[in-house]
Structure 1
Amino acid sequence: MDHDDDTEGSTDLLSIKLLRLFDLLYSTNSVTRTAEQMGQGQPTVSNWLRRLREQLGDELFVRTADGMRPTPRADELIVPAREALASLQRLAAPALEFDPSSATRRFRICMTDASHVTLLPQLLAHVRALAPHVSLEAARIDEQTAQALQSGQADLAIGLVPWLESGFYQQVLYPQDWVCLVNASHPRVGRNFGLRDYKAEAHVAIAGGTGVQLLEAALQRHRVERRILLEMPGFLGLAAIVSSTDLIATVPRHIGETLARSRELKVFDCPVPIPPFTVKQHWHARYHQDPANRWLRGVCEGLFAKKSPRSTTGKSRGS
Structure 2
Amino acid sequence: MTDLDTPLLDPKLLRLLDLLYTTRSVTRAAELLGQSQPTVSIWLGRLRLTLSDPLFVRTPEGMQPTPRTDALIGTVREVLEGMKRLSESQAVFEPAASKREFRIFMTDASHVTLLPRLYAHVRALAPSIRLEAATMDARLVPALQTGEADLALGLVRGLETGAEAGFYQQTLFDQDWICLCNPRHPRLGGKAAPDNFSLDHYLAEAHVAIVSGTGYQLLDATLKHLDAARRVLLELPGFLGLPAILSSSDLVATLPRHIGSSLAEAAGLRILPCPLNIPSFSVKQYWHARYHHDAANRWLRSICAELFLQRKP
TM-score, normalised by the number of residues in structure 1: 0.72
Give me the whole-angstrom Cα distance separating, in 1, the residues matched to 2:49 and 2:168: 49
Distance (whole Å) between structure 2 residues aligned to residue 18 and residue 307 of structure 1? 50
- How far does the alpha carbon of each residue in 1:192-220 deviate from its partner, in whole angstroms, 9 at most, with x for none? 43322211221111112122111100111
User: Structure 1 282/57 Cα, relative in aligned 2: closer, same or farther at 3 Å?
Assistant: same
Name the residue aligned to 1:305.
309
Q: Matches of 1:51 and 1:282 in 2, distance apart?
A: 48
Q: 2:107 aligns with which of 104, 112, 135?
A: 112
Q: Could you tell me whether the CA contact under 8 Å between 2:189 and 2:270 is conserved in 1?
A: no
Out of 237, 243, 250, the residue aligned to residue 246 of structure 1 is 250
RMSD: 4.1
- Residue 93 (structure 1) shift: 3.1
**Structure 1 residue identity aligned to 2:175:** Q
Q: 2: CA distance between counterparts of 1:281 and 1:297?
A: 8
Match of 2:174 in 1: 175
List aligned pairs for 1:160-239, cutoff 5 A. 160-164=155-159, 165=162, 166-191=165-190, 192=193, 193-239=197-243
Counterpart of 2:142 in structure 1 is 147
Q: CA deviation digits over 1:34-68, x for unaligned, max 9?
A: xxxxx99xxxxxx999999997789xxxxxxxxxx
Deviation at 1:306, TM superposition (A): 3.1
Amino acid in the other structure paired with 1:283 = W
Q: 1:267 aligns with which of 265, 271, 277?
A: 271
- AA at the equivalent of 1:201: E
Q: Distance in 2 between matches of 1:21 and 1:134?
A: 47
C-alpha contact 1:187 1:246 (8 A) present in aligned 2: yes
- Tell whether the 8 Å contact from 2:179 to 2:260 is kept in structure 1 after alignment: yes
Task: Summarize the alignment of residues 29-68 of structure 1 with structure 2, pairs less than 5 Å apart.
Answer: none
Do the aligned residues in 2 keep the contact of 1:203 with 1:228 (CA within 8 Å)? yes
Match of 1:93 in 2: 88
Pair 1:158 & 2:157 matched: no
Q: Classify the secondary structure of the residue corresponding to 2:138.
A: coil
Q: Report how far residue 110 of structure 1 moved.
A: 0.8
Cα deviation code 1:83-103 (max 9, x no counterpart): 977764554334223222222
* AA in 2 matched with 1:176: Q
Whichever residue aligns with residue 245 of structure 2, its letter is I
Contact 2:182 2:189 in 1 (8 A): no
SS of the residue 1:163 aligns to: helix
Pairing partner for 2:291 from 276, 287, 292: 287
Structure 2 alignment gaps of length 5 or more: 1-5, 19-23, 25-31, 34-40, 54-66
Q: Is the 8 A contact 2:105 2:151 kept in 1?
A: yes
Which residue of structure 2 lines up, in the alignment, with residue 61 of structure 1?
none
Instruction: Give the partner amino acid of 1:186.
Output: H
CA contact (8 A) 1:175 1:308 kept: no
Distance 2:247 2:189 in 1: 15
Q: What is aligned with 1:128?
A: 123
